[in-house]
Amino acid sequence: MHPSKHLRGSKGDDLKGKKIVLGITGSIAAVECVKLIRELVREGAEVHCVMSEWAEKIVHPYSIEFSSGTEPITELTGQVEHVSLCGKVPDKADLFLISPATANTISKIANGIDDTPVTTFATTSIGSGIPLMIVPAMHQSMYEHPVVMDNLQKVQEELGTAIVGPKIEEGAAKVADKDEIVDNVIRLLNDDLKDENITVITGGSVEPIDTMRVITNRATGKTGIELAKRAFRRGANVQLWYGNVQAEIPHWIPNRKFETLDDLIGYSKDLTETVIVPAALSDFGVDEVSESKISSEKGISLELKPLPKFIEEVREEVEFLVAFKAEDSREKAMEKAEKMIEDRRADMVVANSLEDVKSEKNTICILKGDEWVEGSKRELAEKILDEIEKRK
C-alpha cells in the first residue's frame, strides 16, 4: 500500500469522496505542492496531478507521485487523460485546482488557449462544468501587468473561477498558504451553511489598570478560531472578532481586533444575524484608570467595578445568539447556563467545566437536554454549528 493511503482522512473527512485534480505550472512556488497535496489527502481527498513541462523543471514528478499516491500526468496520450478525469464522464473530478498558476497559464485560460497539459485540462473542466480554482504565483511586476490583471478578472467573472491569494510580499505575488488553499477548497465543495452570516467573538478582553497593567481572563481563543474556520469551510459568511488570543488568526477570514469590552460593544452595529460568543470577557474593571504606571515599591488596593454584560448589551440587535458558560464544575456550569437562557435570553448556551478544559480537547454540553460530549476543538465546533443549523 502506498504511504499516502495511510494519511488519507487522518485530519478529517471534509474532502472524503472528493476527487481533486491539481494542475502544477512553472512557478518556483511549485515546490510547495508536495505539502499542499498531503494536506488535501489528510482531509480525505483523492488527488490526481497534471504538470506542465516547465513545472517538471522545478519539482520532480516523483515528488508529486510520492505525495499524492498517483502518477502525475506530464503529457496527454491516447488515454485522453483530460477527458477521463475532467470530461463529461461518470466519476469525473469534483474540482480542478491550479496551484501555482503563472501569468502565462492564467492568460491562456482567459483566452481559451490550451497548449499545455494544464491548460487543456482547464479547457475541458470549464466545458464540463467542473469548478475551477486558481492560485496565482509570480513576481509582483508580472501580477500587476494590466493585461494579466484583466485576464485574472476575466476568468473570475466570465468563467466563474475561484481565485485564492496571492500574498504580496518582498516584491512577489506569492502563492497562498496551504491552509488557506485547503480551507477554500473545502468551502467551495461543502456549502451547507451558504448564505448564513456569522460573527464569532473569541479571546480575552483586557481592561487597563494603568499605562502598563491590565485585568484579563485566561483564554487561548482556540475554540472561537476553530468555530470561525469550520463555519468558513461550510460556506458561511464569517467574521472573526478576537481579543487576547494564543493562536494564529486565519487571515483569509475577515477579522477585527478588540481590546476592552467598550471596544467590543462599540462594534456591535456591525454584528451579523448569528453571533457566537466563546470569548472570555472581563467582568470587572478598575474604578479609575491611572494615567501613569503605578509604582511597584509598595502594595496597592484596587477598587473593581462590575462591567456591562456583552450578551445583554447586544441581545436586541442579534437574531440568534449563542453564549458560552464556563464554571468550576459541570453542575454549576449547567445551573448558570440555564439562567443565561432565562435571564439573558440566549438562544443557545454551551456549558463547560474548567476541570474538563485541555489544550486541544474539551467536554461540553449544549443546552437544553444534550449529554456532555468530549472531543477535539474541531469536533466540538462541528457539533455546535450542527446544532445552530438545526435550531435556527
Task: Tell which of 148, 170, 189 closes a domain.
Answer: 189
Residue 267: burial class (beta carbons within 10 Å; 0-12, 13-18, 19+): middle
Contacts of 151 (CB under 8 A, 6+ apart): 106, 107, 109, 110, 111
* pTM for this prediction: 0.91
Query: In this structure, are 208 and 184 located in the same domain?
Result: no
Last residue of a domain, one of 189, 206, 225: 189
| Domain-terminating residue out of 145, 162, 189 | 189
* Cα angle: 60, vertex 61, 62; to 5 degrees: 90
Range of the domain at 302: 197-290+298-391
Q: Are residues 16 and 139 in the same domain?
A: yes
- Comparing CA positions, the residue from 269, 270, 229, 233 lying closest to residue 251 is 229
Residues 94 and 217 in one domain: no
Residues 276 and 229 in one domain: yes
CATH number for the domain including 100? 3.40.50.1950
Residue by residue, DSSP assigns 335-365 as: HHHHHHHHHS--SEEEEEETTT--SSEEEEE
In a shared domain, residues 208 and 270: yes
Residues 12 and 103 in one domain: yes
Quote the pLDDT of residue 359.
61
Give the pLDDT of residue 370.
63
Q: Are 235 and 363 in the same domain?
A: yes
Whether residues 27 and 74 share a domain: the answer is yes
| Cis, peptide link before residue 254, omega less than 30° from 0 | no
Residues 126 and 59 in one domain: yes
What tens-digit pLDDT sequence spans the chain (392 residues)? 787 788 888 898 999 999 999 999 999 999 999 999 999 999 999 999 999 999 999 999 999 999 999 999 999 999 998 999 999 999 999 999 999 999 999 999 999 999 999 999 999 999 999 999 999 999 999 999 999 999 999 999 999 999 998 999 999 999 999 999 999 999 999 888 988 999 999 999 988 888 888 888 888 899 999 999 999 999 999 999 999 898 899 999 999 999 999 999 999 899 999 999 999 898 888 888 888 888 888 788 888 888 888 888 888 889 999 988 888 888 888 887 887 887 778 888 888 887 776 666 677 778 655 678 888 889 899 999 998 988 76
Same domain, 205 and 330: yes
Q: How far is CA 314 from CA 267, 275, 307, 310, 321, in A?
A: 10, 10, 14, 6, 9
Q: How many domains, the chain? A: 2
Q: How far apart are CA 156 and CA 148, in angstroms?
A: 12
Q: The domain spanning residue 268 has which CATH number?
A: 3.40.50.10300
Same domain (yes/no): 205, 269: yes
30 & 162 share domain: yes
